[in-house]
Chains A and B, each alone.
Chain A
Amino acid sequence: MKTVMRGVALAAATALALAACAAAPEESDTSSAGDTATDSTTAESIDYTACIVSDAGGFDDKSFNQLSYEGAKKAAEELGAQFREAQSDSETDFQPNLEAMVSEGCNTIVAVGFALSAATVESALANPEIGYVLVDDAADNDFNGEKDAENIKPLLYDTAQAAFLAGYLSAGYSQTGKVGTFGGQPYPTVTIFMDGFKQGVDYYNSVKGTSVEVVGWDGKDGSFTGGFEANDEAKSIAAGIIDQGVDVLLPVGGPIYQSARDAIADSGKDIAMLGVDADVYNTDPSVASLLLTSIMKNMDVSTYEAIMAAGEGNFDPTAYVGTLANDGVGIAPLHDFESKVDPALMTEVDQLKQDIIDGNVTVTSYLSGS
C-alpha cells in the first residue's frame, strides 16, 4: 500500500508540474482566488439569495428539474444574487434539504416537482418570511382547492393547450389516419399532454370531417410504461402502438422518447415523433430528424420570472398557470419538418392558437377551470 501511495503521489506531482507552468494573474484578486469569486466579479451584487431543491431526478434530468434550475440560475446571475442548490436523492432528503436552505438564509426557495409538495408546505408554514416557488404542483395536499400555505407560489402549466395544437397538427400531417401516444405513469402532469393531444385530433376531425384515430389514449385511460425509464418495457409499448399503423407518436415522460426512437428505428417505417417539456430538437440532437415538433412547458421562463420578481422585492405568491396566452406553454418550430408540412396546415395551427387564446376554442383540462 505504501508503494501504491507513493505511485499516486508521484502521478499527482507530475500532473501538478505539467499543469503549473502558467503565469499568475497580475492584478489585485490575490486574496480571493479560493472562495468568493462571485463577490468580486459581480459589481452590483445584492443581498438576496435564491435557492433550488430538486426532486430525485436531479438537475441533469433533461426535464423539469433542469429547466427550472436553468431559469433560477439565470435569474440569480442577472440579479447578482447568491445562488444555492441542493439535489435530493430520495424523499427523505426533501425536508433536510429545505431546512438546510432555510438555515443558509435563502430568500426564495424553488422546490421542483409534486413530490416536494408536502415538505414545501411544511417548510413554508414554519418560515413565513421566505418565499417558495413550487414547480408543477398546486401545493394543495388536502385537496380543498386552495393552496396550503400563503407564501408558496405554485407554477402550473396548462399543457393541454399546447398539446391541442400538436394534436391538430399531427392529425393534419398523418397519412395513415392514425396517431399514437403513450405515457410513463398516469399522473395528471402526464395525462394532460395525452388528453390535449386527443382533443386536438378530435377537433381536427370535427372541422375537416375526417376520422383520424388516436391510439394509446381514449380520454380516460391509455398506454403507460409504468415508469420513467427508457427501457425495454417502454420500447415494447411503443412498438405495440406503431404496429397499429400510426405515423405520428407522442411519448410523454422524461427519457421514454428514447425508447420510442429505438422502436421507430426497428419498425423501419417513416414515423414522426413529438417531443415534450423542452424543444427536444435542441436538447437531444439524436432524435432531431424524427421530430415533427415539441410540446413545450416553458418552466425555465416562468421560474426565471418568479425569481427576478422576488429578487427585486416583488415576490407574488399567486399561482402562475402557463398557457398559450402567456407563452408558458407552446409548440416548438418544425425545424427539419418545415418542408414536409403543408404551409396551409401551419396557418391553420397559428389561427387555432389565436382562437384558443381568444377563447373561441375551448381546451379542457384539470387546470382550465381555475
Chain B
Amino acid sequence: MSAESPEPKEQAVAASDDTTAASTEPASSGGDRWREAYFRIISGGWAVSLGAVILAVLAGSLMIMVTDQGVQAALPYFFARPGDTFAAIGSAVGGAYAALFRGAVWDFRADDFAGAIRPFTQSLTMATPLIAAGLGVALGFRAGLFNIGGKGQMLVAAAAGGWVGFGVSMPFPLHMIVAIVAGVAAGAVWAGIAGVLKAFTGAHEVITTIMLNYVAFYLVSYMLATPGLLQAPGSSNPKTPPMQDTAVMPDLLGPRYNLHWGFVFALIAVAFVWWLLNRSKVGFEYRAVGENPDAARVAGINVPRTTVSVMLVAGGLVGLAGVTQVLGTVTTGFSYDIDAGIGFDAITVALLGGSQPIGVLFAAILFGAFKAGGSVMQAAENVPIEIVTVVQALIVLFIAAPPLVRAVFRLPQPGARWTRSSRKEVAA
C-alpha cells in the first residue's frame, strides 16, 4: 500500500512532477485526475486488498469490543483488575469471530464431516450472486464505466426469470435454461439502456444507472401488487408464487445443502469474463476504451458501439445474479427486495477483487462468508449484523481512500511507478 511506504521527500516531489507531466499529456485534463485516481483504485494490487480486509476486521473487533456488555461492565474498574477487561474483550471478540467462522467455514460443533462443511457450502451459496454481479461491475470498470445499476438490473432479471419460472410450463432442463436466458436478457437490456444513453447522448452512466434502479424498483413493485402480473394468485401480499420444480436450479450436493447449480454457472461466467478480457478482440477493445477513449477512437475502435456492448454484457452478468436468486436461493417466491443489496455489494466485490475475474471470485466468496457467518454470529453471540456491514464498508474505505483523497485534495500521487508499469502490463 502506497500509504505504508513513505518515500523520502525529494523522491515524492519528483514522482509528483512525473505524475503531473504524465497526466497533462492527453488533451482533456479536466476529468483526467479522476481517471487517474480511478485507475489506481481499480488496479490497486493484492497488498491493498489484503491490508484493507485486515484493517477492516480489526476495526470490526474494536466495535464488537466497545458495544459488548461484558466489556462495558469490566472497563470501569480497569486499573483495579485489568484482567477482567481483557477477559471480557477476549470473550466478546473471540466469541464473535469464532461464531463467524463456525457460520462461514467450518462448524466445529457438528458431529460429522458432512455437517461441519455445511457452513462453507452456505458461504458459496451466498457468494453465487456476488460473483456474477461482481463480474458485471468489474467488466464495466475495466471499460471505464461505473455501473451502479446492479439493483435495477437484478430486479428486472429476477422479474423476467421469475415470471418464466412460475408462469410457463416446460420440461426440466429447457424450462430452467429459458428462465435463465430471459433473466440475463432482461438484465442486459436494462443496462443496455444506460449504455445507449451514454454512447449516443453522453448521459453519464452513473446517473442513468442509479435512476434506472428506481424505475426498476417501482416497476417490479407495481407488478408484484397487480394480480395477473407477478402477484401470487389468491394472495394480496406483494409476493410471487413459488417457482415450478422444472425451473429450479438443482442442488449441487444433494438436498442437505443449499448450494445449487447457480454456483457452477457463476464459475462459468468467471471463465468467460477472463477469456473475454484477456483473450478476445472484443475484450481488448473494452480495455482500450477504458484506458483512453480518445486514443481508442483514433486507433479505429468504435467507442459508442463498444460502450453499448460493455453495458449489455455487464447487465447480463448482473442479470445472472438476479436469476440465481429466484431460481436457486429463494425458490418459494420473491418480493421487491430480492436484490438483497447485492447490486451495491458487487461494487465492493469488484473493487476488492481488483476488477480481475479471479480476484472477483475470491472477493465474492469472502463476502459470501461474511453474509453466511453474520447470521450465526448474530444468533449465537447477539452481535448485531450491522457489524458485518460496517466491516464491508470499511474495506471499501480502506481500498478507495488513499488514492482518492489525494485526487480530491490535489496532493502529490506517490507510487506513479506502479501505475505506469501496470499500464504497460495492460497494453502488453
Interface residue stretch chosen among B25-33, B188-196, B294-302, B336-344: B336-344
Contact between chains at B379 and A86 (CB < 8 Å): yes
Q: Is A37 an interface residue (CB 8 A)?
A: yes
Within 8 A of B (CB), among A306-327: none
Interface residue stretch chosen among B66-74, B351-359, B411-419: B66-74
Partner of B92, one of A34, A51, A90, A100: A34
Q: Decide: A104 near B334, CB < 8 A? Known: A20-B77, A34-B90.
A: no
CB nearest to B233 among chain A residues: A143
Within 8 A of B (CB), among A1-58: 1, 16, 19-25, 30, 33-35, 37, 51, 56
CB nearest to A35 among chain B residues: B91
Contact between chains at B375 and A24 (CB < 8 Å): no
Contact between chains at A188 and B70 (CB < 8 Å): no
Q: Decide: A92 near B330, CB < 8 A? Known: A56-B337, A100-B103.
A: yes
Residues of B within 8 A of A30 (CB): 81, 84
CB nearest to B236 among chain A residues: A188
Residues of A within 8 A of B332 (CB): 118-119, 122, 141
Partner of A91, one of B70, B80, B340: B340
Contact between chains at A87 and B379 (CB < 8 Å): no
Contact between chains at B4 and A96 (CB < 8 Å): no
Task: Provide the bound-state CA to CA distance between A23 and B379, in Å.
Answer: 33
Contact between chains at B76 and A22 (CB < 8 Å): yes
B234 to chain A, nearest CB (A): 4
A233 to chain B, nearest CB (A): 11
Within 8 A of B (CB), among A119-149: 119, 122, 141, 143
B63 to chain A, nearest CB (A): 13
Partner of B378, one of A21, A85, A186: A85
Residues of B within 8 A of A103 (CB): 107, 109, 376, 379
Within 8 A of B (CB), among A225-252: 226-227
Q: Decide: A93 near B375, CB < 8 A? Known: A35-B91, A56-B337.
A: yes
Q: Is A99 an interface residue (CB 8 A)?
A: yes
Residues of A within 8 A of B4 (CB): 1
Contact between chains at A34 and B88 (CB < 8 Å): yes
Residues of A within 8 A of B337 (CB): 56, 90-91
Within 8 A of A (CB), among B105-133: 107, 109, 122, 126
Task: Provide the bound-state CA to CA distance between A122 and B331, in Å.
Answer: 11
Residues of B within 8 A of A185 (CB): 225, 238
Q: Decide: A115 near B239, CB < 8 A? Known: A91-B340, A92-B325.
A: yes
Residues of B within 8 A of A97 (CB): 375, 378-379
Task: Provide the bound-state CA to CA distance between A141 and B107, in Å.
Answer: 33
Partner of A92, one of B70, B242, B329, B382: B329
Q: Is B409 an interface residue (CB 8 A)?
A: no
Contact between chains at B225 and A33 (CB < 8 Å): no
Q: Is A62 an interface residue (CB 8 A)?
A: no
Residues of B within 8 A of A86 (CB): 375, 378-379, 385
B402 to chain A, nearest CB (A): 8
Partner of B69, one of A24, A37, A115: A37
Contact between chains at B379 and A51 (CB < 8 Å): yes
Contact between chains at B122 and A187 (CB < 8 Å): no
B232 to chain A, nearest CB (A): 8
Contact between chains at A96 and B330 (CB < 8 Å): no
Task: Provide the bound-state CA to CA distance between A100 and B385, in Å.
Answer: 13
CB nearest to A87 among chain B residues: B385
A residues with CB within 8 A of B: 1, 16, 19-25, 30, 33-35, 37, 51, 56, 84-87, 89-93, 95-97, 99-101, 103-104, 114-115, 118-119, 122, 141, 143, 185-188, 191, 226-227
* Sample (6) of A-B pairs whose CB atoms are under 8 Å apart: A34-B70, A90-B339, A92-B329, A92-B338, A115-B335, A227-B221
Other than the known A34-B68, A100-B376, what 20 A-B pairs have Cβ atoms closer than 8 Å?
A25-B77, A33-B73, A33-B88, A86-B375, A87-B378, A87-B385, A90-B337, A91-B330, A91-B338, A92-B329, A92-B330, A93-B340, A95-B258, A95-B330, A100-B378, A103-B107, A143-B233, A185-B238, A187-B237, A188-B236
Shortest 5 CB-CB contacts between residues of A and residues of B = A20-B78, A34-B91, A118-B332, A34-B88, A90-B340
